[in-house]
Structure 1
Amino acid sequence: MSAAPSGPSNRNCFSELRQAGKFSDVIITCGSHELPVHKAIVCSQSDVLEDLY
C-alpha cells in the first residue's frame, strides 16, 4: 500500500524559507553577493561553519 505525498516537499519548504529571508540568522558573503541562510541548515552540513557558530 502506498500513499501520495500530502504537502510540499522539504526542498520546496526550505527554498521558500531561504527566499523569504524572514528566519535567516546568518549571511554568507562572497564578493558582492550576500546569501541569507539558516544557521541550523548550513552548520549541520559543514564542520567548518559549525566550529564558527
Structure 2
Amino acid sequence: MYMLEHEMASSRMNELRAEAMAASRARRLYVARRAARRAERAVRRAARASASVY
C-alpha cells in the first residue's frame, strides 16, 4: 500500500512541477513582450524628440 501511495504522491508532484514551469514560462513571455513594447515606445519618443530638435 505504501508503494502505491508513494507512486501517486510522486506523480502528483511531477504534475504540479510541470504546471509551475508552464506558468513561469508564460509569465516570462508576458514580461518580455511588455518590455519590448515599452522599448518600442521609447524609440518612437526619442525619434520624435530628435526630429523636433532639428
TM-score, length basis structure 2: 0.26
The structure with more radius of gyration:
2
Instruction: Answer 1 or 2: which has greater strand percent.
Output: 1
TM-score, length basis structure 1: 0.27
